[in-house]
């Protein structure tokens, strides 16, 4: 009986790692496949970059730390039809910037200025944005999207929750085939892998158009916020999850892999939230994801392209919305003090209405005012 129980537990753990490894597809696939299908970037170069970065992440952090495309850079490249050289230049410039901030100690100083309320506020804003984007993607086929979102949301209340996500994706592909819908992506114009180096004008354009808008989001979500979340979920590994380490791993990955066709990459708090939700707990999840990316790069062809193009946008949107839900929620909404709730809501509101940098500044100002008021009250007493 004990052997059966141990075997069942092992199966459940592996199922959790497997589901968690691909739980962040709602963020990953639309951006990556968009770069390949709409901008004709090399699928081999992009998937090789994510594969090697994921394997390094598994080795270094030993936990399910996600690897994602940088959202602002990827979205702008897709929307504006920018060149592979600009994507490479932006990735290398971001990598260099992160390394300078990490090794100079500025990242650690910034992290100390952020109270938990500010970090939660930024996570709330990003979570709402992910839910909004997910909802837009689900509207492509609203019934399928709603069913997928509901199944993923309630799966946490069932013993075999880790099997729901691959089932949802499989049902989505079957839906696409049965309904004879058009593929979500067309990869017929994707370019082959080759070494490139950005031109001078691509460096300068990337610095202004891509790097500056991305920097604030990366520093908050992919460095500071994920550090706080990782420490909360894996308290025994706190020393490994310092903000400096996330900046260094992302910095070197971009600087070294972008010349070989890798996209601009980072970690992400939303990815960690959804991977943890679906059962990822160890290095196995990023290893599975990394090996899968390397296999896709090595054997890219019409067969793989067809399978990926059959995943409905509505299903990817449901995954993205779940990631947003997990990121936005915090127990501080239930047990936080009134001023703490005020800082969270004000920071999140400013992030949504203006941008993440403005939200960060407002949160810091509010916390600084609270500290000064507390000191004044102590002096008066």
pLDDT for the residue 381: 60
pLDDT for the residue 227: 92
pLDDT for the residue 376: 63
Mean per-residue pLDDT, 101-118: 85
**3 state DSSP class of 266:** strand
Q: Is the pLDDT of residue 153 over 90?
A: no
* Lookup: tokens for 245: 């380490």
**3 state DSSP class of 165:** helix
pLDDT for the residue 349: 93
Q: Give me the count of residues in the chain.
A: 381
pLDDT for the residue 271: 86
Q: Is the pLDDT of residue 369 over 80?
A: yes
- Residues 66, 225 contacting (CB under 8 angstroms): no
Query: What percentage of the chain has pLDDT greater than the value 90?
Result: 27
pLDDT for the residue 66: 93
Cα–Cα distance for residue pair 196/149, rounded to 1 Å: 40
Q: Is the pLDDT of residue 332 over 90?
A: no
Q: Is the pLDDT of residue 248 over 90?
A: yes
The answer for residues whose C-beta is within 8 angstroms of residue 354's C-beta and 6 or more apart is none
What pLDDT band is residue 42 in, cutting at 50, 70 and 90?
Answer: confident
Separation of CA 319 from chain center: 12
Q: Is the pLDDT of residue 10 over 70?
A: no
pLDDT for the residue 243: 93
Q: Compute, in degrees rounded to 10, the torsion defined by CA atoms 275, 277, 280, 282.
A: 100
* Per-residue pLDDT reduced to its tens digit, 81-98: 888 889 999 999 999 999
* Per-residue pLDDT reduced to its tens digit, 197-220: 888 899 998 988 888 778 877 888
Q: Is the pLDDT of residue 7 over 60?
A: no
What pLDDT band is residue 296 in, cutting at 50, 70 and 90?
Answer: very high
Cα–Cα distance for residue pair 326/270, rounded to 1 Å: 7
Mean per-residue pLDDT, 371-378: 72
pLDDT for the residue 162: 65
At residue 79, φ and ψ (nearest 5 deg) are: -65, -40
The answer for residues whose C-beta is within 8 angstroms of residue 247's C-beta and 6 or more apart is 98, 99, 101, 102, 107, 223
Between 166 and 103, the more confident residue is 103
Which sequence spans correspond to the domains of the chain? 13-188+197-329
Between 280 and 31, the more confident residue is 280
Q: Is the pLDDT of residue 379 over 70?
A: no
pLDDT for the residue 251: 96
pLDDT for the residue 5: 54
Query: What percentage of the chain has pLDDT greater than the value 70?
Result: 91
pLDDT for the residue 159: 58
- Residues 333, 156 contacting (CB under 8 angstroms): no
Q: Is the pLDDT of residue 2 over 70?
A: no
Mean per-residue pLDDT, 37-55: 89
Burial class (CB in 10 A: 0-12, 13-18, 19+), 240: middle
Helix (H) or strand (E) run with residue 6 in it: helix 2-21
The most confident of the ranges 128-137, 235-244, 247-256 is 247-256
Q: Is the pLDDT of residue 336 over 80?
A: no
Q: What is the mean pLDDT of the chain?
A: 84
């Amino acid at each position: 009986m004990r052997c059966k129980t141990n075997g069942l537990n092992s199966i459940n753990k592996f199922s959790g790692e497997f589901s968690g490894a691909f739980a962040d597809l709602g963020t990953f696939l639309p951006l990556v496949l968009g770069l390949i299908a709409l901008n004709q970037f090399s699928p081999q170069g992009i998937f090789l970059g994510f594969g090697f970065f994921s394997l390094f992440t598994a080795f270094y952090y030993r936990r399910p730390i996600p690897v994602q495309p940088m959202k602002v850079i990827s979205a702008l490249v897709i929307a504006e039809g920018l060149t592979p050289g600009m994507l490479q230049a932006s990735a290398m410039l971001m990598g260099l910037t992160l390394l300078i901030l990490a090794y100079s100690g500025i990242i650690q100083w910034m992290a100390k200025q952020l109270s938990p309320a500010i970090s939660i506020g930024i996570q709330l804003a990003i979570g709402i944005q992910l839910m909004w984007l997910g909802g837009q993607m689900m509207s492509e086929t609203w019934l399928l999207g709603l069913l997928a979102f509901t199944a993923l949301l309630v799966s946490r209340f069932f013993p075999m929750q880790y099997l729901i996500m691959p089932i949802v994706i499989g049902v989505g592909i079957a839906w696409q085939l049965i309904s004879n819908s058009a593929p979500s992506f067309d990869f017929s114009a994707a370019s082959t892998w080759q070494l490139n180096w950005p031109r001078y004008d691509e460096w300068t354009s990337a610095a202004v158009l891509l790097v500056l808008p991305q920097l604030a989001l990366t520093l908050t979500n992919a460095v500071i916020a994920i550090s706080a979340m990782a420490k909360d979920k894996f308290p025994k590994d706190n020393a490994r999850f310092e903000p400096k380490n996330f900046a260094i791993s992302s910095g070197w990955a971009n600087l070294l892999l972008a010349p070989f066709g890798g996209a601009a990459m980072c970690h992400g708090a939303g990815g960690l939230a959804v991977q943890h939700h679906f059962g990822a707990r160890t290095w196995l999840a990023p290893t599975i994801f990394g090996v899968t990316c390397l296999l896709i790069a090595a054997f890219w062809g019409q067969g793989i392209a067809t399978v990926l193009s059959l995943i409905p946008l509505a299903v990817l949107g449901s995954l993205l919305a779940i990631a947003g839900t997990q990121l936005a929620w915090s127990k501080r909404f239930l047990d936080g003090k009134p001023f703490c709730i005020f800082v969270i809501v004000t920071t999140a509101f400013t992030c949504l209405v203006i941008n993440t940098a403005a939200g960060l500044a407002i949160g810091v100002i509010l916390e600084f005012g609270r500290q000064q008021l507390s000191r004044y009250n102590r002096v008066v007493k």
